Amino acid sequence: MNRKKRICFLLITAFVMLLLTSLAFAEGEDEAVKACKTFYKTAWALLPPVIAIGLALLTKEVYSSLFIGILVGGILWSGGNFEKTLTHVFNDGIVKNLADPYNVGILVFLVILGSLVAMMNKAGGSAAFGRWASGHIKTRIGAQLATIALGVLIFIDDYFNCLTVGSVMRPVTDGHNVSRAKLAYLIDATAAPVCIIAPVSSWAAAVSSYVDDGNGLSLFIKAIPFNFYAILTIVMMITMALTNMDFGPMAKHEKNAKEKGDIFSGMQSLADEAEEKANPKGKVIDLVLPIAVLIVSCVIGMIYSGGFFKGENFVDAFSNSDASVGLMLGSAVTLIITIIYYLIRRVLPFRTIMNSIPEGFRAMVPAILILTFAWTLKTMTDSLGAKLFVEELVKESAGGFARLLPAIIFLIACFLSFATGTSWGTFGILIPITLGVFPVDDPVGVVCVSACMAGAVCGDHCSPISDTTIMASAGARCEHVTHVETQLPYALTAALVSFISYLFTALLPKAYLHLSLPFAIVMMLVALFIAKKTLVDRPSFDKEDEKN
C-alpha cells in the first residue's frame, strides 16, 4: 500500500510539474493556438483518458483521477494558458455537459429511480421479495441465474437495465451470499451485451441511425450472429454461474462472501442506506408493481419520443426514440403512480414518501458525479480531435488488410471505447467508415459492422469511465473501482476469444461465415476450461488466497 501511495504521489507531482511548466511557456493566445494545433488530431488526444484510467486503477480513487485527466485535456487544448484551461474545463466541459438536455434527462432518470428504490425499501417491498425469493431460489447458482434472466429480459436500455436489475436482485443475491462485485458483473454483463443484440432497444436505434437509406435495422439484425463479444459474454457468464467458477480478483470477493458472509469484502460503507427497518406490511406486490409500471412507462415514453402517437409505426418509433426523454418521462409517471399506490395501500405515510426523494438523490450522487466527469473527459478528447485521429488510422488500415479488417476494427473499437468511455460515439466514428469500404449487402461488411459493435461494447465494458460501468456499480451498490478490477479479467478473456474468432472469420469463404459463431462458442468454453484448470483448480490457489 505504501508503495502504491508513493507511486501515486510521484504521478501527481509529475502532473503538477507539467502544469507549471506548461503555464511557464504559455504566455499568450498565439502560443495557445500553436499548442492546440500541435496536439490536435494526434495520439496526444487520447492522453487525458489514458491518465484518468491509469490513475483510477492505480489509486482506486476515481473522482480525482477523472478530474486530473480532464485538467490534462484542458492544458493540452489551451497550450497551458491558465485562463483558457479553466474556461475550457468548466464552461466548455462541466457546465456544458450539465446543461445538455440529453444528459439532464439521464440525471433526472437516475434521481427518480434512486427515489423509487428508497421508497420500495421503506415500504418493505424489497424485503418481502427477498423473503419470497428465499423460498423459491434455494442456491447461489439459482440467485445468479435469476439475475442473468432478469437482465436478459430487460433489454430495452442499458441504463434502465443496470438500475432496475440491481434494485430487484440485491435482496436475493445478498440472501445467498453473492458478493456485490459479482452482482455488479452480472448486471453489467447483461446490460450493453444484451442491448447490442436486441433489435428492439435504444442501442439498436443508435446503430441504425448511422446507416443511410433506411437499412439500419436490417443491417443490425444481420450483424447479430457475428457480435462475438456480446454473445460470448453471455455464454461465459452462464457457464461460470452453473459451474460456480471464478478467477482473478473476483474469486477473493466470492470467497469472502461464501465463507465469511462478507458481500462487500470489508467495504461496508456502500451498504444500502434505505435498508433500515423493513415495513412489516410490505408485500411482494409493493416491489413488483412499481417495477412493472416502470417498464411499461419507459417503453411508452421511448416510443412517444419517437413519434408513435403521431402516426409512426412501433419499429420506426423505437428506432427514432430519444432514450433520455423516454426514460425520464417513464420514470416520472412511475414515481407519481407509486406514490399514489403506497398512499392507498397505507404502507408509507406521506412524509416518509417525500423524505425518500432526497434520500434517493443522495444515493445517486456518486454515480452522477462520476458520469459528469466522464462526459467532461469525453468533451476534452473530442476538442483535441481524438475521433479524427482514429478515423484516419482506420482508413489507413482498410486499404491493405481488407480481409483482416474485422479483427483490426474490433481492436480499434475496443481501445477507442475504453479510452473515451462511450460505445455510441465509437459507433458514430467507425460504422460510417466501414460502410464506406464495404457495401451494405457485402457479408464481410456485415462482419466489420459487428466487429465495431462488439469492440465498442468490450471497451465500454472494461472502461472505468464508461457510463454503463458506472451505472452497474450504482445498481449493485458496489465500489466502482472494485467493480472495474474484478470484471476486467472476465472482459479481457471474452475479448481475446472474440479477436481470435474474427481472425478465424477472415480465413473463411463468404459462403461459410455462419460457422464462425459455433467456433467462437467452442473457443470460449475451451478458454473457461483452461482457466478453471490453471487458475482455479491449481493446488496453490487456496494457499495464495489465504496469504493475501
pLDDT in tens, the chain (548 residues): 456 555 655 565 565 555 545 554 444 455 555 556 677 878 788 788 778 777 776 776 767 877 888 888 888 888 778 888 889 999 998 999 899 888 888 788 878 878 887 888 788 887 787 778 767 888 889 999 989 988 887 776 677 678 778 877 888 888 888 999 999 999 999 988 988 888 766 677 667 656 665 566 678 888 899 999 999 999 999 999 998 888 888 989 998 888 888 888 655 544 444 444 557 778 888 888 888 888 788 889 888 988 888 888 877 787 677 777 887 898 899 999 999 999 999 888 999 999 988 988 887 787 788 778 878 887 888 888 877 776 676 666 555 555 678 888 898 888 888 877 777 767 766 777 777 666 667 787 788 889 989 998 999 888 888 878 888 888 888 888 889 999 999 999 999 999 999 999 888 887 788 889 999 999 999 999 888 778 765 544 444 444 44
Q: How many C-beta atoms lie closer than 10 Å to residue 285's C-beta?
A: 14
Residues 6+ away with beta carbon under 8 Å from 160: 154, 294, 298, 327
pLDDT at 392: 72
Q: How many C-beta atoms lie closer than 10 Å to residue 42's C-beta?
A: 16
pLDDT at 536: 63
Cell representation of residue 452: 465495431
Cβ atoms of 372 and 96 within 8 Å: the answer is no
pLDDT at 539: 46
In DSSP notation, 103-145 reads: HHHHHHHHHHHHHHHHHHHHHTHHHHHHHHHHHH--SHHHHHH
User: Angle 480-507/516-531 helices, nearest 10 degrees?
Assistant: 130
Helix (H) or strand (E) holding 176: none
How far is the C-alpha of 400 from the C-alpha of 421, rounded, in Å?
Answer: 29
pLDDT at 512: 82
How far is the C-alpha of 263 from the C-alpha of 486, rounded, in Å?
Answer: 14
- Nearest Cα to 427, choosing from 192, 187, 260, 231? 192
pLDDT at 269: 47
Q: How many C-beta atoms lie closer than 10 Å to residue 317's C-beta?
A: 20
Structure-derived torsion over alpha carbons of residues 233, 238, 240, 243, reported in degrees to the nearest 10: -160
Helices H, strands E: what count in the chain?
Answer: 28, 0
Cβ atoms of 379 and 137 within 8 Å: the answer is no
In DSSP notation, 34-68 reads: HHHHHHTTSGGGGHHHHHHHHHHHHHS-HHHHHHH
Cβ atoms of 390 and 429 within 8 Å: the answer is yes
